Amino acid sequence: MSLRLARIAWVVTRYRLDTLIPKERLPWVLRVLLVLSPLRLFPIHGERAERLRLALEALGPIFVKFGQMLSTRRDLLPPDIADELKRLQDQVPPFPGEQAAALVEEELECPLADAFAHFDTTPLASASIAQVHAARLPDGQEVVVKIIRPGIDRVMRQDMALLYGVARLLAKVPEARRLRPREVVADYEATLFDELNLHREAANTSQLKRNFKDSPLLYVPAIHWPLTRRRVMVQERIHGIPVADMAALEAQGTDLKRLAERGVEIFFTQVFRDNFFHADMHPGNIFVAHGKPHDPQYIAIDCGIVGSLTREDQDYLARNLLAFFHQDYYEVAALHIESGWVGEGTRANEFASAIRSVCEPILEKPLKDISFGQVLLGLFQTARRFNMEVQPQLVLLQKTLLNIEGLGRQLYPDLDLWHTAKPYLERWMKERAGPRGLWESLQRQAPELSRQLPELPVLAHQALTRVEAEHKQRHRQSESLAGLRRQMLATAQGARRLRLGALLVGLAVAWQPLLEWAGDQPWPVLVAAGLGVLLLAWQ
Tell me how far apart the alpha carbons of residues 26 and 334 are, in angstroms, rounded to a whole number: 37
Higher pLDDT, 47 or 418: 47
Give one DSSP letter per residue of 124-183, joined into a string. Answer: EEE-SSEEEEEEE-TTS-EEEEEEEPTTHHHHHHHHHHHHHHHHHHHHTSHHHHTT-HHH
More confident residue, 174 or 13: 13
State yes or no: is 280 an active-site residue.
Answer: yes
Rounded-to-integer distance, Cα 268 and Cα 321, Å: 12
Contact (CB, 8 A) for 291 and 249: no
Helix, strand and coil in the chain, % to nearest 5: 65, 10, 25
Give the three-class secondary structure for 230. coil
- Name residue 281's amino acid: M
How much is the pLDDT for 512? 65
Per DSSP, what are the bridge partners of residue 298?
Answer: 218, 288
Task: Look at 537 and 293; give whichever has higher pLDDT.
Answer: 293
Q: What is the pLDDT of residue 452?
A: 64
Instruction: Give per-residue pLDDT as tens, 236-276.
Output: 999 999 888 889 999 999 999 899 888 888 888 888 888 89
Rounded to the nearest 10 degrees, the angle between the axes of helix 392-411 and helix 417-433 is 130
Cα separation values, 272 from 115, 222, 306, 377, 408, Å: 40, 24, 14, 23, 19
Fill in the DSSP letter of residue 350: H
pLDDT score at 441: 55
CB-based contact 244:401 (threshold 8 Å)? no
Catalytic residue from among 280, 315, 414, 520: 280
Measured in degrees and rounded to the nearest 5, phi and psi for residue 77 equal -120, 150
Are 133 and 124 in contact by the 8 Å Cβ rule? The answer is: yes
Residues 62, 60: Cα–Cα separation, whole Å: 6
**How large is the greatest C-alpha to C-alpha distance in the chain, in angstroms?**
128
* Maximum average pLDDT range among 187-201, 257-271, 423-437: 257-271
Using alpha carbons, select from 499, 480, 476, 477 the residue that is nearest to residue 488: 480
- The residues, ordered by sequence, that sit 6+ positions from 350 with a Cβ below 8 Å of its Cβ are 386
Report the 3 state secondary structure along 17-65. Answer: HHHHCCHHHCCHHHHHHHHHCHHHHCCCCCCHHHHHHHHHHHHCHHHHH
Give percent above pLDDT 90 in the chain.
18
Q: Is the pLDDT of residue 29 over 70?
A: no
Edge-first strand listing for the sheet containing 118-126: 118-126, 130-136, 142-148, 232-236
CA distances to 16, 21, 35, 370 from 47, rounded to whole Å, are 11, 14, 21, 32
The CA distance from 165 to 500, in Å, is 69
pLDDT at 203 (0 to 100): 94
Pairing of strands 142-148, 232-236: antiparallel
- The answer on pLDDT for 147 being more than 80 is yes
Q: What is the mean pLDDT of residues 283-297?
A: 88
Tell me the range of 178-187, 305-314, 360-369 where mean pLDDT is highest. Answer: 305-314
Q: How much is the pLDDT for 115? A: 92
Percent of the chain whose pLDDT exceeds 70: 71
Give 213-243 pLDDT, tens digit per residue: 999 999 999 999 999 999 999 999 999 998 8
The total number of residues shown for the chain amounts to 539
pLDDT tens-digit map of 64-87 = 777 776 666 665 677 788 778 777
Backbone phi, psi, residue 306, to 5°: -130, 160
Is 207 strand, coil or helix? helix
Question: Roughly what angle, to the nearest 10 degrees, separates helices 152-171 and 61-71?
Answer: 70
Q: Which residues pair with 232 in a beta bridge?
A: 147
